[in-house]
Amino acid sequence: MLMEINGDRLWNSLMRLAEVGAYDDPNTGLRGVNRQSLTDEDAAGRRLLVSWFTDAGLTVRIDRMGNIFGRREGSDPTAAPVMAASHIDSVATAGAFDGCLGVLGALEVVRALNERGITTHRPIEIAAFTEEEGVRFGTDMLGSAVAAGRITLEHAHDLTDRDGLRFGDELDRIGFHGPHDVRLRPPHAYVECHIEQGPVLADAGVPLGVVTGVQAISWQKITVHGRAAHAGTTPTELRVDAGLAAARIVCRVRDMVDSGDYGRLRGTVGHLRTSPGLPSVVPELAELTVDLRNPDDEHMARAEHDLADFLAELRRGQPGLTITAERMAKTHHVPFDEGVQKTISQAVEDHGLEHLSLMSGAGHDAQEIAAIAPTAMIFVRGRYDGISHNPREYSTPEDCAHGVTVLATTLLRLADQR
């Protein structure tokens, strides 16, 4: 059976939710969204979402992390539900789609099932997880990580924001500290529809992606100490140039990627800065970040090891130079369930659409739920190289509808599995 959904209704819901926390972005001249978790704006977005869940006949349940669930009963209420979820919290300079497409897409599936009077075998649960972005309390995928048991409730509640405000207190303040147990009973399967946040689908001219997993991520902050010296008077052989060492690290990261020796490694130095930063002073200090991604944990481990070796080699080659590397973040590769991927790609084909299989470079709630249930994701193509975390973030109404149509058929089929 193939489901159809109402693309206009989906789009209207996306645009309506984007008004909550909207602001005029000076950099782009566009209307952006700032709905960081547990702020007043987030609370307003949550209330709107709960009213929509209720209107769609869902039984709403809020847990002790503020995760919001909406349950549509199946013909066998004792069967484990099929779940579709994402998040509605945003970064400070967001667009309308990141996270929201997954939550409102799932809602649209429920609305479409209601219109057609379809009862599935298994219950369907849709959800919005709290603080996926991690921009306010410093840990991303926070709500889903607690729900899946990786992070404890106590730890999460004690996290504080930049102003020292506690997560638990802010949850109370906005009225979303729910009574329900936070540990999620494993669903039968979990599907998340999300914008790609990258250029692969746009570059290939394909509207949809079936996500094979989330690659391993390693963030390091590297600090290089050299010796400040006058650019005009200090002979080259007497210099200990922190900026030069930093530049060599940047080039090395790219050489490692290009070598092919580390599988499908991606490497990025996003932040690089020298001090004191004067034209005529050899840098005394350089700071840089290295972001490595790899779909394979062994390749990742070897890349990290070899980069550390290169830092040691730089140090040995230049007496007086010190280099320290501090880990900022590390997650392992999360492969998604092949059965759920197959159900998704079959749905894409049955709808006469095109898709690619691809790895997710960014983190998503799905990677937490993957620890307790068969999980996969549907990616929707983004315009402008898939720019995200920016008001320019955009997916067309057609592509959004394609993604949610595939979500609908996928959920229907999973919910009828015995």
Per the CB < 8 A criterion, the answer to whether 234 and 282 are in contact is yes
Q: How many CB atoms lie within 10 A of CB 110?
A: 23
Of the candidate residues 186, 199, 335, 397, the single one contacting a copy of itself (CB under 8 A): 199
DSSP 394: -
Q: How many CB atoms lie within 10 A of CB 353?
A: 16
Q: Does 279 bind a copy of itself (CB under 8 A)?
A: yes
3-state secondary structure of 196: coil
Site for a copy of itself in 62-121 (CB under 8 A): none
Of 52-60, 120-128, 161-169, 196-204, the segment contacting a copy of itself by CB under 8 A is 196-204
Nearer to a copy of itself, 57 or 199 (CB): 199
3-state secondary structure of 289: strand
Per the CB < 8 A criterion, the answer to whether 126 and 46 are in contact is no
Of 94-102, 112-120, 267-275, 298-306, the segment contacting a copy of itself by CB under 8 A is 267-275
Q: Does 308 bind a copy of itself (CB under 8 A)?
A: no
Nearer to a copy of itself, 249 or 412 (CB): 249
Q: Does 327 bind a copy of itself (CB under 8 A)?
A: no
The token duo for 263 is 């599988």
Cα gap 329→331, rounded to integer Å: 7
Q: Does 368 bind a copy of itself (CB under 8 A)?
A: no
Q: Does 246 bind a copy of itself (CB under 8 A)?
A: yes
Smallest distance, a copy of itself to C-beta of residue 40, A: 26
User: Token pair 């002979």 is at which residue?
Assistant: 235
Nearer to a copy of itself, 30 or 118 (CB): 30
DSSP 185: P
Q: Does 217 bind a copy of itself (CB under 8 A)?
A: yes
3-state secondary structure of 177: coil
Q: Does 250 bind a copy of itself (CB under 8 A)?
A: yes
Of 8-16, 51-59, 80-88, 191-199, the segment contacting a copy of itself by CB under 8 A is 191-199
Nearer to a copy of itself, 120 or 220 (CB): 220
Q: How many CB atoms lie within 10 A of CB 127?
A: 29
Which stretches within 32-163 are classed as H helix?
40-55, 100-116, 142-148, 153-158
Strand partners, 330: 218
Q: Does 270 bind a copy of itself (CB under 8 A)?
A: yes
User: Token pair 């847990």 is at which residue?
Assistant: 63
User: Token pair 């249930």 is at which residue?
Assistant: 373
| Residues of this chain that bind a copy of itself (CB under 8 A) | 196-200, 203, 215, 217, 219, 221, 227-236, 238, 241, 243-244, 246-248, 250-251, 254, 257-258, 266, 268-274, 276-283, 286, 289, 291, 293, 328, 360-363, 385-388
